[in-house]
Each structure stands twice: as C-alpha cells, then as structure tokens.
Amino acid sequence: MAAVFSTAATTRLLSSTEPLAFSSTSHKTLSSSSLLPLKLRNPFHPKPLKFSPTKISAIISVGDTLPESTFSYFDPAGELKTTTVSELTKGKKTVLFGVPGAFTPICSFHHLPSFADLALKLKAKGIDTIACISVNDVFVMKAWRADVAKEWKGVDEVMLLSDCNANFTTAIGCEIDLIDNPVGFGVRSRRYSMLVEDGVIKLLYLERGGLYKYSSADYLLTVLG
C-alpha cells in the first residue's frame, strides 16, 4: 500500500519502507493485477534489479518547485540538443519519470513501454510533455529509444533525457548508490514518476528499490481520472 501525502505536508525529508505516493488529490489504490499488462519481447519474466533494502527518501515533495538542471537528448532528426527543467515545465503540465537504467529489464519491458503505450491518452488529459530521465549518457539513451521503438512506436511521444552526471537526480534526492552492485552501475536514479505543473510538483510517486508499481503510466492515468 502506498502512503499518501498532501500539499499540506510539512516534512521535506520523506522516508518510508514502502513505495511512496505523494498526491495533492485523492485517488484510489490499484492492485498490482490491475496494472497495464505489457507484452514482453523476451521469453522470460524480467526481475527487478537487486537494490539495498534501505528506506527510500526524497528531499522534494508535492508543492515544491523543481530545481533547475540541464539534460541532453537527441531530437527526432538525430540532432544533439539540450533542454532545462524550466523549458520542460514552464507554463506546461509535464510528466517526468525516472528509471535506474536504459536497457535494464523492468525499464525496457515495462516502465518506458507503459508511457509509450499510453502517451496519447495522457496528452488527451492535458499533459503537454512526457519525459524519461536516466543517469546514462545521451548516446545510450538514443540507442535505447531505437531499440524500444521496434515494438513501441509511441516512444516517439516520450523524450528520453540524459542526466549523465546525476545532477538533477541528486538535486531531488532520488539518487541510489549501486557502486557495490555486481552489475557495477555506480550512482543511478530510483524509479519514480511525477506530474509537474508550471515547475511545481503536483503528484510524486517514488518506488522502493527496483520495484515497479506506482510509477507506471497506467497508475498515473487512473489517478488523473
């Protein structure tokens, strides 16, 4: 069960052993069986990456203004570009979601495809921009987009942003140190999704460890009603 926090919350440092759901609106909780069934390209069921079982926390909460940061990405024409938090969110309704890593199982088979599949429905709800943020270099993000696009054409509706040095991820307190992980990831992002309006966080869902449940596009679409 996700804990729900309103904009009246006064604690800026949030900590829980369960996936956190921060919301300025009431919503119903979904069971894991009600989440979007996504097809897999691999014959095995991908398992979440193993993370330390420590508590999850963030230094941001609903009602906060996102810190400024710069991301890099390739546009549809293949041109290398940069964008900022302000450019992504000023005067807009923007969905940002963070993933631990490009090409990792849950991110590739579920999280990014969920937003690719439901991007147009989210935009029909008034969302202007949908962007995926990962602590990977911009060339990895470009290759990841091309790979996911083989089955999920809707990925063209999602910006894939490189937070290569984890500047944004660290600024919002969503970094996780996986330097001792056998895969050798180093510092990466926790899995989350958020709705931002004109730079201000309206909804925030932060997952525990490598789990994937409340940060899905399906869950967010249901919350939006």
Identify whether the C-beta of residue 163 lies closer than 8 Å to the C-beta of residue 141: no
- Longest CA–CA separation in the chain, Å: 46
The helix (H) or strand (E) run that includes residue 122 is: helix 112-124
DSSP 108: I
Crossing angle between the packed helical segments 217-224 and 112-124, to the nearest 10 degrees: 20
Burial 35-70 (b: 16+ CB within 10 A, else e): beebeeeeeeeeebbebeeeebebebbbbbebeebe
Identify whether the C-beta of residue 74 lies closer than 8 Å to the C-beta of residue 211: no
Task: Give the active site residue among 107, 132, 164, 174.
Answer: 107
Residue 178 CA to residue 189 CA, distance in Å, equals 10
Active site residue 107: yes
Catalytic residues: 107
